Amino acid sequence: MKLCIVTHKVAKGDGQGRVNYEVAQAALQRGHQVTVIASQIDQALQHQPHLDWVPISVKTLPTELLKNLHFANQSARWLNTHRNNFDLVKVNGAITWAAGDVNAAHFIHSAWLHSPAHVWQQRKDAYGLYQWLYTALNARWERRAFAQARQVIAVSSQVQADLEKLGVSRDRIQVIYNGVDTSEFYPGQSDRLALGLPDSVPLAIFAGDIRSSRKNLDSVLKALVKVSGLHLAVIGNLDGSPYPALAQALAVGDRVHFLGFRQDIPALMRASDFLVFPSRYETFGLVVLEAMASGIPVITSAATPAAELLTSDAGIVIANPDDVSALEKEMQFLTDNPIQRQQMGNHARAIAEKHSWSQMAQRYVDLFEQLNPPC
């Protein structure tokens, strides 16, 4: 089979980019010819004998909207010329103006547009208006892209429900959860002091964008006020973040450790006792699966679709992400019960082992081969 993958990035360090990296690798291992149209591709793939890269540069463009428009236009022009060379084209959302046979839905902009956590609901300024425009345009383009696809992959049941609201029939949707690197994220111990963390105290971890309210660090900090003895490690870019000041205002600054952007997240997970991630809006929430693979229990919200993978003996799901009292109760429970934490972490790891990147990629390629069986 001659497969074409259209995506901005094919790289291990990017969520959607990691999915496409693993799918490309799995397709190559099965003997398929792969062509990738992308702005960035992992060096490990660049010299594969049966992989071709069609680069589209967007570096000089100033905004994400302009970058996306340029990429969509240039990729469509290339595909319109070469489409007959391929048996199947896989795309992601509205990434290109050209039609794809398989469209992987990692984010549904129409659902995000109507979420109370959307930037426009928080900021009625020029930046908020730009975010509204960006989301509204992508929602319109996605509707057309999903309608054109023979099959749509949803990364969670929540995304499947959002697709059905857009008119995509259920028989055209297949749910394939994102994966995790179980050899990178695994249970064990880390030297907290070497990581800049306090030793011999209960320690929760939070990871995500802390420059907006979507990931809901504000509720975590408010809950922490009444959770005695617990410290919190926060991973995320601090530029423009309001949360260090909020931690000080709530008088928990001495127990909150803002680590900034970090690349040693697996070690930080192993140094922690549990993950707390009550996001207000996600389409998956990869950090939840990474914590599970690390053998630590998770507190998350029903608005985080990765919670679909959790069982009650592996983690805790809060119905309302803004319920600070419920969050405080569950954080205190995990703080006070190290034996239950260990047991829950073991169950979490067992679940994560069924959702490796390799297993995910094989499901993608299985679908491609079903849609394009050998003659």
pLDDT tens per residue across all 375 residues of the chain: 999 999 999 988 777 889 999 999 999 999 999 999 999 999 889 888 999 999 999 999 999 999 999 999 999 999 999 999 999 999 999 999 999 999 999 999 999 999 988 988 888 899 899 999 999 999 999 999 999 999 999 999 999 999 999 999 999 999 999 999 999 999 999 999 999 999 999 999 999 999 989 999 999 999 999 999 999 999 999 999 999 999 999 999 999 999 999 999 999 999 999 999 999 999 899 999 999 999 999 999 999 999 999 999 999 999 999 999 999 999 999 999 999 999 999 999 999 999 999 999 999 999 999 998 775
- From the options 3.40.50.2000, 3.10.560.10, 1.10.10.10, 3.40.50.1400, give the CATH code of 193-352: 3.40.50.2000
Mention every residue, 6+ apart, whose C-beta is less than 8 A from residue 118.
Answer: 112, 131, 132, 135, 281
Mention every residue, 6+ apart, whose C-beta is less than 8 A from residue 151.
Answer: 101, 102, 103, 172, 173, 174, 367, 371
**Tell me, what's the pLDDT at 369?**
96
Dihedral angle over CA of 36, 39, 40, 41, nearest 10 = 10
**Tell me, what's the pLDDT at 249?**
97
Residue 195, token pair as written in the block: 């990581």
Exposure string (b/e) for 154-164, b if CB count within 10 Å is 16 or more? bbbebbbebbe
**DSSP category for residue 308:** G
Q: What angle do CA 41, 62, 259 make, to 5 degrees?
A: 70
Looking at the chain, the domain(s) classified CATH 3.40.50.2000 span: 2-179+356-371, 193-352
Q: Report the alpha-carbon distance of residue 17 to residue 12 in Å, rounded.
A: 6
Q: Report the alpha-carbon distance of residue 186 to residue 269 in Å, rounded.
A: 9
Mention every residue, 6+ apart, whose C-beta is less than 8 A from residue 133.
Answer: 65
CATH of domain 2-179+356-371: 3.40.50.2000
**Tell me, what's the pLDDT at 373?**
79
Name all contacts of 97-100 with Cβ < 8 Å and 24+ positions apart: 97/72, 97/73, 98/6, 99/145, 99/148, 99/149, 100/6, 100/145, 100/148, 100/149
**Tell me, what's the pLDDT at 121?**
87
Q: Report the alpha-carbon distance of residue 352 to residue 362 in Å, rounded.
A: 16
**Tell me, what's the pLDDT at 33?**
96
Question: Beta-carbon neighbour count of residue 317 at 10 Å?
Answer: 18
- Structural element, H or E, at residue 135: helix 126-148
**Tell me, what's the pLDDT at 372?**
85
Which candidate, 18, 24, 22, places its Cα nearest to that of 37?
24
- Residue type at position 220: V
Dihedral angle over CA of 270, 274, 279, 282, nearest 10 = 50
Give the global pTM.
0.91
Which candidate, 241, 318, 245, 226, places its Cα nearest to that of 276?
318
Q: Report the alpha-carbon distance of residue 272 to residue 296 in Å, rounded.
A: 8
**Tell me, what's the pLDDT at 375?**
59
- Structural element, H or E, at residue 232: strand 231-235
List, edge to edge, every strand of the sheet that includes 274-277.
256-260, 231-235, 203-207, 274-277, 298-301, 315-318
Q: Report the alpha-carbon distance of residue 297 to residue 282 in Å, rounded.
A: 19
Which candidate, 286, 235, 284, places its Cα nearest to that of 243?
235
What count of Cα atoms within 13 Å lies in the side-chain half-sphere of residue 153?
Answer: 27
